[in-house]
Amino acid sequence: MTVAQDTTSAEEYEALRAAVEEFARTEVAPVIGDLYIREEFPYDITAKMGEMGLFGLPLPEEYGGQGGDYYALCLALEELARVDSSVAITVEAGVGLGAMPIHRFGTDEQKARWLPDLAAGRALGAFGLTEPGGGSDAGGTRTTARLENGEWVINGSKCFITNSGTDITSVVTVTAVTGEKPDGGKEISAILVPAGTPGFTVGGKYSKVGWNCSDTRELFFDDVRVPQSHLLGERGRGYAQFLSILDEGRVAIAALSVGLAQGCVDESVRYAGEREAFGRTIGSYQAIQFTIAEMEARAHTARLAWQHAARLLVAGKPFKKEAAIAKLVASNAAMDNARDATQVFGGYGFMNEYPVGRFYRDAKILEIGEGTSEVQKMLIARHLGLR
C-alpha cells in the first residue's frame, strides 16, 4: 500500500496500519458479534485502543498524544472498520468530534484539562451540534446560552450525539445561540459542558438499525450552568469552527467507509472460496467473480479519494472539495458493497452470525452522518462555481 511520498513516513504509516489490522483481527473480530447483538458498548476494546494510542494519533505529545497526523488516524479507522464500524466510529468521534475541537480552538488551560485523558482513551468527548429540528441545517440551532453572573446558562436539546453517554464520557462541546449578529443572524458559539453538570441530562440509548456497539444519545439542557471560561474558541465562531472540524471529519468518515467496503470484499472472497453450489465453489462462477471484482474496484477507488484528501489536509492545502468527493464516493462504495456482499452470501447474509449482515446494517448511516450525500454534492457543485 502506498501511503506517503517519503520512505520514512511510508514505513511508519505501514507499521501503524499493520498493527491496527492485527488488533482488529485478533481483539475485535472474536468478540464484536456478540457485543453487537447485545448492543453493548465495547469498553474493553476501547481501553485497549487507548493503550495503543489510537485516540491520540493526531494530538500533540505534550498532551499525551502520538504527535502524528490525520492521515495516520484515517489509516487506523479503515483497518478497524474492515472488522466493525461501531468500534471505528467510537475512535473517529472520540478524536474528530471530541478532542479535535479542543485541540484546534481551546485555550492552554482547556487543553491541559481535557486532552490528556481524551488522548489516552481514558475518557471520551462528544460534540453536540445536531438538534431534533435541524439535521443538515446546522445553522438552525435553537439551543441557547446566555451570560449571567460570569456563567453560561444553557437551555435546549441535541440529538444523535455519539459517545455522549458512556461511563467514560467526560465532556460535550455544545453549540448554542449566544446572541444576535449585526446583520440579524444568529450568533452561535461553542461551549464545553462537563459530564454530570447539574441540569445536563443524557437520554437513553437509541434503538438503532446499525452501529449497535456505538453510544448514541439525545441530550437535554435545563438551565445548565458552566463558567464563562468554558467558551471554546471565539464567541460567535462556533458554527464556523464546527464546519472546519466537519471538513476533517468527512475525510475520516470516508476512510471508515472504505474499511467497511473492503471488509465486504474480504468476507465475500473467503465465503466464495468455501461455499459450494451445483458441485463447485460459487467463486468459480463468473457472475460471482464479476460482482466481487466490482466491489474491489469500488473500495480501491474510494481509498484513493480519501488518501488524496488526507494528503492535502496534512499538507495544509485546500481540501474541502476533495473531502466532499471522498465522503460521497466512499459512502456510496460502502453501501453498494454491503448490498452485493449480502447477495453473495445469500440467506446467510441475512443472519447476524455473519459479518456482512452487520456491514449491511452499518453502511446506510455513512451516507447520512457528517453531511448527507446530498450535502456533499451541493458542496462539490459550489466549488465548481455553480450557485
Active site residues: 370
Contact 193, 230 (CB under 8 A): yes
Taking each helix axis as running N to C, give the angle between helix 286-314 and helix 238-274, from 0 to 180 degrees, rounded to the nearest 10.
150
- Distance, in Å, from the CA atom of 297 to the CA atom of 190, rounded to the nearest integer, reads 41
Q: Which residues contact 342 (CB under 8 A, 6 or more apart)?
A: 349, 350, 356, 357, 359, 360
Cβ burial, residue 109 (10 Å; 0-12/13-18/19+): exposed
For cell 472460496, the residue is 273
Distance CA 215, CA 78 (A): 20
C-alpha span between 154 and 158 (Å, rounded): 12
Which residue matches cell numbers 468521534? 93
